Amino acid sequence: MAGDQKPPNTGGSGDVPSGAGQGWTALSYLIGGMLVWGFIGWLVDRWLDTGGIATGIGVVLGMAGGIILVVRRLGTPT
Amino acid sequence: MFGQANVLAQGQAEFPPSVGDFYLPSILPWGAENSYWFTKITAMVWVAVGILIIFFLVSYRNPQLVPTKKQWFAESIYGFVRNNIAVDMIGHAGVRFAPYFTTLFCFILLTNFFAIVPFFQISPNSHIAFPAFLAVISYVMFNYVGIRHHGFVKYFKNSLVPPAPWFILPLLIPIELFSTFIVRPFSLAVRLFANMFAGHMLLLVFTLGGFAMISANAWLAPVSVLSWTMTIALTFLEFLVICLQAYVFTVLTASYVQGALADEH
């Protein structure tokens, strides 16, 4: 079956996971971002007694981070 | 195993069903309380392993150039996993993972399928232990493969440091760490477990609900029949979920291996 071989991986942007894998990766970045930085913000909240502000900032930062990661890891190559 | 039918006929089954319904009575020692060393679940796992080993051995014991029906079936499964999962996700390097992915796919498919086979009627995967262990195998495998391919430092640098300007890296690295090394095994295990658990629960609710209604009031008999019809419809839905979850688990494992093998960006 030499005829139906795919071109070998050349590295770089050709290595993004295909299809379903890509979808789950994107989802886990978006949710993971909010959870991780939300948790860190919550810890800061407990530490400084800021009453939830740090958690909010953390969640927003995490969302931004998740979106950056999706764009950088899965987006179209520049 | 046959106790279920008697219980249903006598209208003794409890409604609503609870988590306790997933803990089946001990077989060895017979009828022991709170002993889960050998239950129907254990037996089903061994049956699944046995069926798979015997099926693949028998169907490939005397391979023909023009395959027999059994050989064709076995080769189709392997070919499907090899071409549509391993090679599709990983590329050339994926062929050497195809045997494991096929084993994984067949094992999950068969153990899931027990959920709707008469007299089995529960999937071992509706206990978190089995999906969890499969997820641990996948987790160890993709990390091992990545470390062997890139070397320890380069592997973690590849998977933790995304291509981004240095000043947002502190924001991104914790997210990468969390989503790559912590969430992956959990999401693999929980996705399979929750689907099989919920499927079994749904079937229980509609079956037992029918019995509960008909024994509460004979006038509710039509609703009971409707409830049992729903059970049949849900069994078909269950079949879809069974195939889908086996596929998703294998595809995601392949995708993680691909991520571990990928060259740096």
* CA dihedral sign, ordered B73, B77, B78, B83: positive
Is it the case that residue A67 has pLDDT exceeding 80? yes
CB contact under 8 Å between A21 and B252, yes or no, is yes
**Cα–Cα distance, A50 to B173 (Å, whole number):** 25
Return the pLDDT at B74. Answer: 92
**Cα–Cα distance, B155 to B147 (Å, whole number):** 6
Chain centre to alpha carbon of residue B111: 7
Confidence class for position A77, pLDDT limits 50, 70, 90: low
Nearest to B86 by CA among B259, B261, B264, B258: B258
Nearest CA in chain A to B88: A18
Angle between helix B221-261 and helix B183-216 axes, rounded to 10 deg: 170
Is it the case that residue B3 has pLDDT exceeding 50? no
Confidence class for position B12, pLDDT limits 50, 70, 90: low
Read off the DSSP letter of residue B264: P
Q: Give me the mean pLDDT over the B142-171 stretch.
A: 90
pTM of the entire predicted model? 0.85
**Cα–Cα distance, B103 to A64 (Å, whole number):** 40
A17 and chain B: CB distance < 8 Å anywhere? Answer: yes
CB contact under 8 Å between B174 and A35, yes or no, is no
Kindly report the nearest CA distance between residue B184 and chain A, in angstroms: 8
Kindly report the nearest CA distance between residue A49 and chain B, in angstroms: 23
A61 and chain B: CB distance < 8 Å anywhere? Answer: yes
Residue type, A16: V
Give B71: exposed, middle or buried? Use CB within 10 Å, 0-12, 13-18, 19+: middle
CB contact under 8 Å between A61 and B168, yes or no, is no
**Residues 6 or more apart in contact with residue B40 via CB below 8 angstroms:** B1, B24, B27, B120, B122
For residue B262, the chain A residues in CB contact (below 8 A) are: 9, 11, 15
* Residue B39 backbone phi and psi in degrees, to 5: -120, -175
Q: Residue B39 forms beta bridges with which residues? A: B26
Chain centre to alpha carbon of residue A22: 11
A2 and chain B: CB distance < 8 Å anywhere? Answer: no
pLDDT in tens, B226-264: 999 999 999 999 999 999 999 999 999 998 998 898 876
CB contact under 8 Å between A72 and B163, yes or no, is yes
Confidence class for position B141, pLDDT limits 50, 70, 90: very high
**Residues 6 or more apart in contact with residue A12 via CB below 8 angstroms:** A77, B263, B265
Percent of residues, chain B, with pLDDT higher than 90: 60
3-state secondary structure of B196: helix
B262 and chain A: CB distance < 8 Å anywhere? Answer: yes
Tell me the two tokens of residue B19: 């988590």
Report whether B124 contacts B111 (CB < 8 A).
yes
A78 and chain B: CB distance < 8 Å anywhere? Answer: no
**Cα–Cα distance, B193 to B128 (Å, whole number):** 5
Report whether B145 contacts B156 (CB < 8 A).
no
* Residue B261 backbone phi and psi in degrees, to 5: -85, -15
**Cα–Cα distance, B138 to B145 (Å, whole number):** 10
Q: Residue B26 forms beta bridges with which residues? A: B39
How many Cβ atoms are within 10 Å of B1's Cβ, its own excluded?
11
Q: How many residues can be counted in chain B?
A: 265
ipTM of the complex: 0.72
A69 and chain B: CB distance < 8 Å anywhere? Answer: yes
Return the pLDDT at A2. Answer: 44
Q: Give me the mean pLDDT over the B166-194 stretch.
A: 91
CB contact under 8 Å between B172 and A5, yes or no, is no
